[in-house]
C-alpha cells in the first residue's frame, strides 16, 4: 500500500502488509496540498537491533496501526498505544490489547533530543514531526482524532 512519508512531502512509502517492509519512493515535486491522505509511514531503529517500519492508515472505516506485519485497529476500545521516555535518549512505544502488551519497541533518539535542547524555537509541531510513535500514542486513543482522520483520509484499500 502506498502511504505518505511522515516528514517528507516529496517521498512516499510503499508499505508491505505481508512482511512489514517498506520502500521509499522519491517524488519529482511536493504532493499537492489537495491530495487526500490514505495514511502515513515512518521507521525507527531498535535500541539494540534493526530498523522497524510503522504505518497508520485508514482501511474502510477503521484506522489501523502497523508495526511491521502486526496490525491493530485503533478504533477498537480494547487497543491502547503508549509512549514513554524512560531514559533521556531512549523512548519506549507499546501496543496493549485489553491491558496485555502485544508489541513493544525501545529506540534511541540522541540526535533528536540534542536538537530539541539546542533549538530555542523547537515546539510541539517539530516534536510531532520528530516522534511519529509519540504522535500515534498521543492521538491513537482520541475519539476526536480517530473521527477526524476517518472523515478526512481516503481508504488505503483504494490505492
Domain extent at residue 12: 2-158
Q: Is the pTM of this model over 0.75?
A: yes
CB atoms inside a 10 Å sphere around CB 148: 13
CB atoms inside a 10 Å sphere around CB 157: 11
The predicted-structure confidence for 12-52, as pLDDT tens digits, reads as follows 999 999 999 999 999 988 777 777 889 999 998 888 888 89
Instruction: State the average pLDDT for the chain.
Output: 86
| The pLDDT of residue 159 | 43
> With contact defined as beta carbons under 8 Å apart, do 12 and 64 qualify?
no
At a CB cut-off of 8 Å and minimum separation 6, what does 78 contact?
Answer: 97, 98
* Counted domains in the chain: 1
- Please check the confidence at residue 112 and state whether its pLDDT lies above 90: no
Burial group, residue 23, by CB count within 10 angstroms (0-12, 13-18, 19+): exposed
Amino acid at each position: 500500500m502506498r502511504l505518505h512519508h511522515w516528514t517528507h512531502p516529496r517521498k512516499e512509502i510503499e508499505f508491505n502488509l505481508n512482511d512489514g517492509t517498506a520502500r521509499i519512493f522519491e517524488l519529482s515535486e511536493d504532493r499537492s496540498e489537495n491530495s487526500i491522505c490514505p495514511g502515513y509511514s515512518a521507521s525507527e531503529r531498535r535500541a539494540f537491533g534493526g530498523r522497524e517500519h510503522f504505518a497508520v492508515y485508514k482501511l474502510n472505516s477503521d484506522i489501523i496501526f502497523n508495526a511491521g506485519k502486526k496490525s491493530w485497529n485503533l478504533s477498537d476500545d480494547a487497543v491502547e498505544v503508549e509512549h514513554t521516555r524512560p531514559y533521556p535518549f531512549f523512548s519506549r512505544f507499546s501496543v496493549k490489547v485489553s491491558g496485555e502488551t502485544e508489541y513493544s519497541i525501545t529506540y534511541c533518539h540522541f540526535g533528536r533530543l540534542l536538537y530539541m535542547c539546542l533549538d530555542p524555537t523547537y515546539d510541539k509541531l517539530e516534536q510531532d514531526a520528530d516522534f511519529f510513535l509519540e504522535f500515534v500514542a498521543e492521538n491513537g486513543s482520541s475519539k476526536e482524532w480517530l473521527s477526524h482522520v476517518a472523515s478526512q483520509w481516503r481508504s488505503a484499500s483504494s490505492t
